[in-house]
Chains A and B, each alone.
Chain A
């Protein structure tokens, strides 16, 4: 019998790293940087969507980033896009991990 709790360790680490990445993201940014960050975040979220695992906060951050971009607030747009990207990456990792991990939860 496997120890199921071992499986969650990388997940936990990823969650915490994501949170750290987010808190360090508020740097000055140019329009190009903000646009690139948002494009990057959207690409990750598209991958999460393919795995049927978009997250509510990712969507929220993407929307806020887009709004900030439209309003010419590059710093906020970049920061929100970075947050969205970090969240999307964790959601992708979660989905990939769950492709096999779900078996452990099955009633049996």
Chain B
């Protein structure tokens, strides 16, 4: 039973943290009475007020937008960012034809160039949220190729290249007039604000209420624009990672058992977060500590 004291300590810590986080609790309202459009306006207003000195497009740069000391190191690293190798690999993979002679470009509008900002979208035919990563693997399946693993490797390289061709284009996420699309949005919103895992944290505990503050050595990124720089090269990983890799590791850090990559719940979460960030320009691929 050697885990017991640690467990106990963790639980007691959480009890403390809970009240700390909740002290800043927001006025409650019947959340379903607001439209996504109203949610987005409130969401963006919150972060603009919380970080009055951050220019709106700069929210794409996460912790570097809100912390000067980190920004200096980031600018140093951006002189020759370590994701450059991934972008090269992604471009080659993107342009290399499948066995049937077709390419990724054939699966996307505008041949896949400059389209990152439109993902994820709600597919009214299948009734589900489609992320860029999912679209890439569906493209492979349609062309008789095996799916790529979602968290790192070629998938990260492909999305790095596709993001780079989309830099500066503002997030342009739509919620079509379809009750299923609205339900997916609401599910993502609920997941974002719900507490999960042993540490009793929600996504919002760190990336809304405590955003810009230090958690151990790191500065917590504001939720606004938080996906705009993906995929990212994290020094901590020493490699590239996709949004799935980040969601999975966030879950694990909250001591919640991660969902499988591209689980519908994670896709709904990405849909909600990206919609909240409408207008923030794509800045991926990015680097993070």
Contacts and interface: CB of A to CB of B under 8 A. Distances in A.
Q: Which of B191, B204, B257 has the most CB of A within 10 A?
A: B257
Q: What are the 4 A-B residue pairs with the smallest beta carbon separation, nearest first?
A: A4-B25, A54-B257, A102-B193, A98-B194
Interface in B201-221: 202, 204-205, 208-209
A55 B26 contact: no
Given A5-B19, A16-B15, A102-B194, A52 B265 contact: yes
B27 A108 contact: yes
Nearest to A97: B195
B100 interface: no
Interface residues of B, number: 46
Given A22-B7, A26-B1, A102-B193, A54 B256 contact: yes
Given A19-B11, A54-B256, A107-B43, A83 B28 contact: no
A40 to B, nearest CB: 18
Q: Which of A7, A22, A57, A95 has the most CB of B within 10 A?
A: A57
Contacts of B205: 105
Interface of B: 1, 3-4, 7-8, 11-12, 14-15, 18-19, 22-23, 25-31, 34, 39, 42-43, 46, 189-191, 193-198, 200, 202, 204-205, 208-209, 252, 255-257, 259, 265
Describe A's contact surface by its main secondary structure.
Answer: helix
A50 to B, nearest CB: 13
A79 interface: yes
A105 B204 contact: yes
Q: Which bracket fits the contact residues of A? A: 35 or more
A61 B3 CA distance: 9
Q: Which of B22, B42, B43, B209 has the most CB of A within 10 A?
A: B22
A106 B38 CA distance: 12
A31 to B, nearest CB: 19
Contacts of A102: 31, 190, 193-195, 202
